[in-house]
Structure 1
Amino acid sequence: STMDIQPTYDNCILIVVTGSLKADNDPRMQFTETFLLRCINNSWLVINNVFRLILQG
């Protein structure tokens, strides 16, 4: 898995994660997930979240 983090405006950070998932005997599936987090009162709140499976074939 890899992860990239970038600060944005308005006390937010953008996080992009890529990796693979494996369940039971199924083949591995690649994925990407992107989060936008905002710091409010010293706590992080998920403002937006996008998850995508990258299916082959």
Structure 2
Amino acid sequence: MVREMACRKCKFVTTGKVCPACKSSDLTPDWNGIVLVVNPENSQIAQTLGITSKGKYAIKVT
């Protein structure tokens, strides 16, 4: 089973070794909660969290 990792910079959740959103390699397996953003332009949650592109994001990254 592939382990999902969260980016420490933008909180994007990925299975790769590099974040596809911000191109950072600073990933961690230690994260909690998920936000799925489908339409960031019209999402109050995305605006509150500062998310500008759709995808799967961690709520808390340690």
Q: What TM-score, normalized by structure 1, do the two folds share?
A: 0.24
Higher radius of gyration, 1 or 2? 1
Q: Which has the higher helix share?
A: 2
RCO comparison, higher one (Cα < 8 Å, 6+): 2
